Structure 1
Amino acid sequence: MLRAVAKAAASSTRRAAHASRATCPSDRLRALSTSADASTTATEGEGEGEGEDGPSAVNRKLTESARAVRKQSSAAIGQRRDTWGWLYDLTDSGETAERWVNGANARLSDRVKTAMYLMHKEDPETWTMSALATKYKIREQRVGAIVALKRSEERFVENNETLYHDLETLMEQSYGTVDVGTGERHVTDVPTTPMFQTVSEYERGRAARPKKFVEASELARREEKVLVREFFERLRYNTLETGTNLNRVSRRASAPRRPEGGYALHVTPLGDTPLEPYIANKDGTQRVLNDDEREYVRRRTPKPRRRIL
């Protein structure tokens, strides 16, 4: 008899479990939320009494803090939140995320760019890249890019190619233009850290020779000199002023066919020798490098300097 009652209870339990599994997920979520609200209400009612302790007090505090967070987050929806973080401005312009002063250097008007190009074209000795950069308060690299683009535009006009001046006008109307820059320049930071050295009794009385400290302005001037030189080297290469006959195809699908008799070799003499690099032809003759080959070797040679960020 007891065994039959146990079997009946087990079967009824299984039926209840199957019934709960068959319930819709939304119904289960609704039931869980209802039970949670009921438990929260009961906890709040019980917590109003004096001498509250144990899990009920902890639950009440957690519930109150969660409600406060929800209230703050709902009030912040649709409002601009405070900017957090920090900005290290190396310039004297008072740059901020909302006040980007040096962004005006990229919005020089087309009229000013054309005037810069004509001044350099008519009198290149007087209006050099450095002189134009000083006059319009921008960097030499920007002047070089403007002059190169205007030279390319002049070729397009001579060849009667289409130029989209309407689009240029719309861009200037949308973002605005300026006639002079803000005095942009290359800046750098020199991090300093204390340096300690343990010396012996003999070395204590000797004169110390600390490493020469370079000011940030002097270091920036040296780096800018290197950056300007490398920029114009790359600009001349990209505009086909140098390396005109070099093969500029990259990521070719297959290697070129080997010529009859083999390739000519580029030989660089090593050691203490006055010999210059030369080309050894397949017939045994030698010749000096031409301008394109010198440009190729120069671009392939690693630069002996630290990377400038």
Structure 2
Amino acid sequence: MSAAQGATGDAVSEEPEEFEGYRSRLLGVAYRMLGTVDDAEDVVQEAWLRWSAADRTDVREPAAYLTRVTTRLALDRLRQVRARRESYVGPWLPEPLPTERGPRAEPDGARWVEVAESVSFALLVVLESLSPAERAVFVLREAFGYPFAEIADTLDRSEPAVRQMAGRARRHVRQRQPRFEVDPAQQRRLTERFLTAAVSGDLAGLLDVLAPDVRLIGDSGGKAKAPLRVMESADKVGRFLAAVGQTELPAPEFTFPEFNGAVGLLVCSESRAHSAVLLEVVGERVQTIYLLTNPDKLTRLSPTSD
């Protein structure tokens, strides 16, 4: 029997307000597992339906119980969407979320700010390269501190197997994440220099901010313009940006909102988000550029004022 179950059910409320108290944590698990808001919300809604229909007389720890249900549902969903992503046009990137505090258009905006600011976009990208089970172990252990025994029960694996997966996942993430955290002011300065050089077609200015082995990863889903393959090297990436940076959008607006807790770049036109750019900075140079133009992943982004 897991830590989520026990013989005392008196403390378990039938009221939906109790579930709402756990929703942010469950969204955090699902978003880290799936990388998109719609999938995460669908999983948490299914968890709620199962919770409301279940016999909870023996549930002692609702949080652990709901986390287990959500993780299993997210694993099932992840296996389904990964099969669909095999036919995705071009690279697939997670959905970035704005994390600046303030009024939000969507009803659950404040909750999503809390979820997104606790997980960087770069980490979400790295998590995509883990197996579904390794991803679940990493999320539950590293992000939420669940004990190995509880994770093993959730995944129907042995505890030694879960410990091995945790070690592999941790090493994998450590090898692929930036080694140094970047000061937000430095990130903002580099992002501004990047934009200035791009929109003016200044190749020399771009080369000054790009690392020699910079990579550009575009996500259009075949619905907008973006490279269909990963571009590498400062020369290739710089020339591409210099060519496309002089946008022909009507009355373009450039703002610098926070995405997943880091400064990004949002390009809007006629009150609609056209593209989002997130820069992974190492030292004083841009190491990776994430360019999202798929309109499906821009619907929750809107212009923000400095």
- Higher Rg of the two aligned structures: 1
Larger strand proportion of the pair: 2
Higher relative contact order (CA 8 A, sep 6+): 2
TM-score, normalised on structure 2?
A: 0.18
